[in-house]
Amino acid sequence: MRSIPEMATEAIRAAGRRMDALGWVPATAGNISVRLPDGRVAITRSGFHKGFIPEDGVMAVDLDGRAEDSNLRPSAETGLHCGIYRRFPEAGAALHGHSVPATVLSRLSGDAIALAGYELLKAFPGLPTHEAAIRLPVVDNDQDIPRLQARVTQAWDADPAHPPGYLIRGHGLYVWAGDMPGALMRLEALEFMLACELEARRLRP
């Protein structure tokens, strides 16, 4: 059985600590992955708090989500990470968190949340100024991961602009980028804008 590069494991553990510090991975929520140079995916194991991932809390799966070590159980949503890597060859890291703004707004919204006029939109490729807008898809939650991935794929197909992430209703946010620093930047930018949207709704007469 091939080992997981230490750099990949440490990138996942560091991301978990960062997400925990920001309150985005309560209890055992969330999952984190990176694509390995040989095409495998390193992903958090099920059942661990992501702010305290132990050295053996990361495992390897193939692009179909099959565990390299059958004695280990990957995150329940491994199939969604693999869906990202199959769809976007340039994706090198994927993050999923359960923040309050992402959870609440996804419950209150239709099939997408529009984000426009925010300075942090410049964090995304192809959006050089704040005078831009993105449409963040919202898909209905489902415990059947292949069926949930099919809904995500439909949302991707409906928007050729390839939004920077997506929301699962009542559940949380998924993002991806070419590497872990890029994925964390994308996650933080979207979470900031979602927090602003939630506050604006709260203050609205």
92 in a structural domain: yes
| Domain count of the fold of the chain | 1
Domain residue limits at 19: 6-203
Q: Is residue 167 part of a domain?
A: yes
86 found inside a domain = yes
**What integer pLDDT is reported at residue 164 of this predicted model?**
80
pLDDT tens track for 56-95: 999 999 999 999 988 888 888 999 999 999 999 999 999 9
Residue 182 lies in a domain: yes
**Interatomic CA distance for residues 164 and 187, integer angstroms:** 9
The pLDDT of residue 42 is: 97
| pLDDT on residue 1 | 63
Between CA 182 and CA 172 the distance in angstroms is 19
Check which CATH number belongs to the domain holding 62 and give it: 3.40.225.10
Identify whether the C-beta of residue 118 lies closer than 8 Å to the C-beta of residue 196: yes
User: 91 lies in a domain?
Assistant: yes
Question: What was the pLDDT predicted at 129?
Answer: 64
Walk along the chain (205 residues) and give the pLDDT tens digit of each residue: 688 999 999 999 999 999 999 999 999 899 999 999 999 999 999 888 999 999 899 999 999 999 998 888 888 899 999 999 999 999 999 999 999 999 999 999 999 999 988 988 888 877 666 677 889 999 999 999 999 999 999 999 998 777 789 999 999 999 999 999 999 999 999 999 999 999 999 898 7
Is residue 181 domain-resident?
yes
Percent of the chain with pLDDT over 70: 98
- DSSP string for 18-62: HHHHTT-S-TT--EEEEE-TTS-EEEEBTT--GGG--TTSEEEE-
Q: With respect to residue 38, please indicate whether it lies within any of the assigned structural domains.
A: yes
Tell me the per-residue pLDDT of 114-133, one tens digit each, with 9 for 90 and over: 998 898 888 887 766 667 78
**CA geometry: angle at 185 spanning 37 and 36, to 5°?**
10
The backbone torsions φ and ψ at residue 147, rounded to the nearest 5 degrees and listed phi first, read -70, -40
Asked whether residue 1 is assigned to any structural domain, the reply reads: no
